Amino acid sequence: MPERRVPESDGEGAHVTPIGSAKIKLQKPAVLAGFPDNGMVGSICINHVIEQMEMHQVAFVDSEYIMASALFVGKKLRHPFRIYANQKGTVCAILCEVPILARGVRPIVRALIDWLAGEGATDVTVLGGISPSNISPSSLTQRSAFLLQNADSEAVEKNGPARIPATAFVVGIGGAFLSSCVANNITCRGMFVPSLGEVPDPGGAAIILEALGSIVPAAKVDTGQLKAEAETIKKHLEELLKMQQKMIQEYEKGEVRPETERIYK
């Protein structure tokens, strides 16, 4: 049975628990993160990176604010909020595949920031889908990845496939994570693609990953398989999305609260 190590906790209902059986030693890794978002783009991106880079799980995030659930993926039961790394320990991937209660976003983000600091991570990229109404300009003849960062963005836009928006508003845990990275002097950026919320969007994920390689060279992956299997992935995730929406409805009906609680999804 795998050894379970003491979790790294923020003391407020969220902690990162390393997996004792993981042999990978992190080497100040570049960190990619995907959370529940429009079109499940973040989840699709991170799952593809994990597969292409042959990553292994090194930790999971546990919290009373994460919807109680387990996932059956790759013929294995898995925790819904996991952290992976490549064999060299140079690239890490954070993946959350279920909704999070709004009041749990801050403690979960604090736990992640504490864990990143403990592992010496100095570079974070959040990947995902964003509502077209939350980014300007959103109406383009060709859909592109948008880059949000404080560094020399103009040079990146001139020499790469990512565009720099005039304005953007990132909500939910992805936005909170980026904000906390800025506050803690961790180099960070967001890479987003305009996407509708009700339909899985593997095409949008491919757009982001193709742009990512020029921004974070260590995380460059081939997107051929993702494009070839886009329709299959979409159909599979449509079923998962329906199940998640049903879970949210049942969860909200079954829990008595003094006031309505929002769920980020």
What is the per-residue DSSP string for 230-245?
A: HHHHHHHHHHHHHHHH
| CATH number of the CATH domain containing 75 | 3.40.50.10900
Q: Using 50, 70 and 90 to split pLDDT, how confident is the model at 169?
A: very high
Is residue 58 in some structural domain? Answer: yes
pLDDT of residue 3: 44
At position 50, the amino acid (one-letter code) is I
What pTM, to 2 d.p., does this model score? 0.85
* Mean confidence (pLDDT) of the chain: 84
Is residue 193 in some structural domain? Answer: yes
Percent share of the chain, pLDDT over 70: 82
Is residue 85 in some structural domain? Answer: yes
In the predicted model, what is the mean pLDDT of residues 45-57? 97
pLDDT of residue 178: 97
Is residue 25 in some structural domain? Answer: yes
What is the tens place of the pLDDT at every residue in 135-148? 887 655 678 999 99
How many separate helices (H) and strands (E) can be counted in the chain?
Answer: 7, 15
pLDDT of residue 197: 73
Least confident interval from 28-32, 74-78, 176-180: 74-78
pLDDT of residue 216: 94
Tally of domains within the chain: 1
Q: Assess whether pLDDT exceeds 60 at residue 157.
A: no
pLDDT of residue 13: 82
pLDDT of residue 50: 97
The torsion angle over the Cα atoms of residues 69, 55, 237 and 32, rounded to 10 degrees, is: 90
Contact 202, 39 (CB under 8 A): no
Residue 106 lies in domain: 8-254
Is residue 263 in some structural domain? Answer: no
What is the tens place of the pLDDT at every residue in 233-249? 888 788 777 776 776 67
Contact 92, 59 (CB under 8 A): no
Q: Assess whether pLDDT exceeds 90 at residue 199.
A: no
Is residue 260 in some structural domain? Answer: no
Angle formed at CA 103 by CA 260 and CA 247, multiple of 5 degrees: 60
Selection from 251, 253, 258, 256 nearest residue 101 by Cα: 251
Contact 186, 113 (CB under 8 A): yes
Q: For residue 120, what are its two tokens? A: 């010496």
For the chain, how long is the longest CA-to-CA vector? Answer: 54
At position 82, the amino acid (one-letter code) is R
Is residue 169 in some structural domain? Answer: yes
Selection from 134, 163, 182 nearest residue 37 by Cα: 134
For 86-114, b/e burial (b = at least 16 CB within 10 A) is: beebbbbbbbbbbbbbeebbbbbbbbbbb
Q: Assess whether pLDDT exceeds 60 at residue 5.
A: no
Please compute, for residue 7, the number of CA atoms within 13 A of its CA located in the half-sphere on the CB side: 16
pLDDT of residue 265: 43
What is the tens place of the pLDDT at every residue in 78-130? 899 999 999 999 999 999 998 888 899 999 999 999 999 999 998 999 999 99
pLDDT of residue 264: 45
- Kindly give, in sequence order, each residue whose CB lies less than 8 Å from that of residue 59, ignoring residues fewer than 6 positions away: 16, 17, 18, 19, 22, 82, 83, 115
Selection from 186, 135, 134, 196 nearest residue 163 by Cα: 135
In the predicted model, what is the mean pLDDT of residues 173-186? 95
pLDDT of residue 257: 45
- SS3 state of residue 217: helix
pLDDT of residue 125: 98
Contact 227, 261 (CB under 8 A): no
